[in-house]
Structure 1
Amino acid sequence: MNALSAYADSFNGARVLITGGIGFIGSNLAFRLVELGATVTLVDSLIPEYGGNLHNLQGLEDQVRVNFSDVRDEHSMNYLVQGQDYLFNLAGQTSHMDSMRDPYTDLEINARSQLSILESCRKHNQAIRVVYASTRQIYGKPDYLPVDERHPLHPVDVNGINKMAGEWYHILYNNVYGIRSCALRLTNTYGPRMRVKDARQTFLGIWIKQLIEGQTIQVWGDGLQIRDFTYVDDCVEALLLAGASPNAHGQIFNLGSDETINLRDLAALMVEIYGEGQYEIIPFPSDRKPIDIGDYYGDYRLIRGRLGWMPRVALREGLARCLAFYREHRAYYW
């Protein structure tokens, strides 16, 4: 944590707002910020289909302020951004399939509400620093690997298009209005407190549930699709570095990993770590095949060079922590 220690003082006594704060990444970020001495406010709608889960705040209930509101509510956001030093803007609709079935809701949450959040900052708190959680999904099917930030953007689903718009609103407001903003393109973040009851947040979640329940992990396609993964603690460190560093203003950064693995080998690794279970290779469901991106892994040299970030938790270690967490807390996440 050498890179982070240089910025830790930035958050001691700081006032921090996290949208999507009771969700997976937001709650893990909240724990870390409280450790660093920040005054933290969490905003979450707790809409059942999304990632919010009150159990994510176990042990933190009396140390943060919680506001149950929707980022689509402009009046709430106008109030909430006032007096805040930092905004970690993590709220979003993450399901690719939901975005195809209900594109207008995805548009409202991932595009229009991002614009209204930034308008709230412009009108009521221009000094705030904003970090936006974007996604590698906006690259679509890669033209080359590893994917760097100069790679063309050609998303393959409605979610990717709306996330791309949300990201660029943040860069625009940085460049035009001086609202210090940046974006991190996250890739397959996993760890404790993620949604595992279905595949709305990540396919890895439903794999964990299947494994612990004694069901067969279903690997779609030929299982040879390559991916990289980011353990949530590493993601939190990247968010904090991006929030604290002036070198991040107006920038877009990929996260990534030094480890890549195909999905068949990932399933086998999870079975090995857990000590039991099995997986099967099955054809893509008809609605998934058109939006599959094939292989993807990111080039994170830019954030390493600018902010000193690099992943620290190895995939095997991260999966072991993850499986142990859900084996203990399954009652709250199934």
Structure 2
Amino acid sequence: MSTWLVTGGAGFIGSHLVEALLARGDSVRVLDDLSTGHRHNLPPGVTLIVGDVADPDAVGQAMQGVDGCFHLAAIASVEKGITDWLGTHRANLTGTITVFDAIRRQGGRIPVVYASSAAVYGDAASVPIGETEPCRPLSGYGADKYGCELHARVASHVHGIPTVGLRFFNVYGPRQDPKSPYSGVISIFCERIAAGMAITINGDGGQTRDFVYVADVVAALLAAMALRPADSPVFNVCTGRPTSVAALAALVADLAGRPLDARNGPPRAGEIRHSHGLPDRANAVLGLPDRVTLGDGLARVLHWMTEATR
């Protein structure tokens, strides 16, 4: 039985990963400051350490005796990166370096699989976006995630720490709180449309995104941990299928059996028009299964929301 540390394990993606690790009989330790995660997301049998991922003592304690670390703790908000630039930088980049440094200080070769983001690409010159596309982030969040990749290279080549980075595109699924300021458009649309409420589409709705279901993200995390590479690779975690925001709203309404009441609001300043990735490299190296279709994933989110309100 292996023991894993999951930073940010009480959050949306982290709690799904924790469940998958427990289901295969592993032991799980979670480090989370509970700023956006919740205790109730964690199943029985998990050791929770409430602490700050940028605190060397907390991370060092959490890292003791583990076989590997899934580093997911972050403030995943472009907007928060604007209003609290320094605070988000501390959580996102300093926190990642703290994880690597805790392993260095222990003199171990504990492998780390960490969450990067499609935000590292910025407004890519062409789509679909492959991993060789230049990284030109346009937000503090994207810049910090790219910084995580650069420091992962240092961790690997200087300190001998095996690392794999996963560039998540637009992840969705159960437990993504529609009331949180960090929530994606899917959780907000599902909640409002299912309740018969109007939604606001920023701009004309023609902007496209690559929506990937959380179970597929968990599969990528588990496969990446099995690699143990020497060259600190990064992979896109995406479907390769673009969906416009307008089409997304229509699909949610159809699945919910509700009429669509959509209003167009002003476009977000600096919003990227089109973003979807190439999954080919991840598919080939990580051996990932077929992705959950958007229709099936949305149906699962709507079912979870219905069950959660009972």
Q: Aligned partners of 1:134 and 1:310: how far apart in 2? A: 21
TM-score of the superposition, structure 2-length normalised?
A: 0.95
Q: Which residue of structure 1 lines up, in the alignment, with residue 51 of structure 2?
A: 69
Partner of 2:2: 14
Map Cα deviations across residues 19-49 of structure 1 (whole Å, 9 max, x no partner): 00000111000110001111100111111xx
Tell me the CA shift for residue 174 of structure 1.
Answer: 1.1
1:271 aligns with 2:253: yes
Secondary structure of 2:274's partner? coil
Give, in whole Å, the separation in 2 of the partners of 1:96 and 1:139: 14
1:132-176 deviation line (CA, Å, top 9, x unaligned): 011101111120011001111111111111121122211220122
Task: Give the secondary structure class of the aligned counterpart of 2:147.
Answer: helix
- Secondary structure (helix, strand or coil) at the match of 1:165 reads helix
Cross-structure match for 1:33: 21
2:255, 2:299 within 8 Å by CA — same for their partners in 1?
yes
1:240-263 per-residue CA deviation (whole Å, 9 max, x = no partner) reads: 000012358510000111432111
Aligned Cα root-mean-square deviation (Å): 1.6
Q: 1:96 aligns with which of 50, 71, 78?
A: 78
Letter in 2 for 1:14: S
1:289-308 deviation line (CA, Å, top 9, x unaligned): 22x11101000111111121
- 1:301 is matched with 280
Gaps of 5+ in 1: 1-12
Q: Which residue of 1 aligns with 2:40?
A: 55
Counterpart of 1:122 (choices 98, 104, 111) is: 104
Residue 269 of structure 2, aligned match among 289, 299, 307: 289
Q: Matched residue of 2:254: which SS?
A: helix
Instruction: Check if 1:327 corresponds to 2:306.
Output: yes
Q: What is the identity, as a one-letter code, of the residue corresponding to 1:98?
A: K
1:145 is the counterpart of 2:127: yes
TM-score (norm 1): 0.89
Post-superposition CA distance 1:161-200 (Å, at most 9, x none): 1121122211220122110111000011111112221341
* C-alpha displacement of 1:54: 2.4
Q: Contact 1:182 / 1:252 at 8 angstroms: preserved in 2?
A: yes
Identity of aligned residues (%): 33
Partner of residue 144, structure 2: 162
Indicate the SS of the match to 1:246: coil
1:215 to 2:200 alignment: no
Contact 2:164 2:229 in 1 (8 A): no
Report the Cα distance in structure 2 between the residues aligned to 1:198 and 1:248, rounded to whole angstroms: 38
After superposition, the C-alpha distances for 1:260-288 in whole angstroms (9 at most, x for unaligned) are: 21110100000000111424242335xx3
Which ranges of structure 2 fall in alignment gaps of 5 or more residues? none
Cα drift, residue 95 of structure 1:
1.1
Decide whether the 8 Å contact of 2:200 with 2:263 is kept in 1: yes
Indicate if the aligned counterparts of 1:199 and 1:205 stay in contact, CA closer than 8 A.
no
Change in 2 beyond 3 A, CA 1:248/1:219: farther
Kept in 2: contact 1:18–1:90 (CA 8 A): yes
Which residue matches 1:42? 30
Give the SS at the match of 1:126: coil
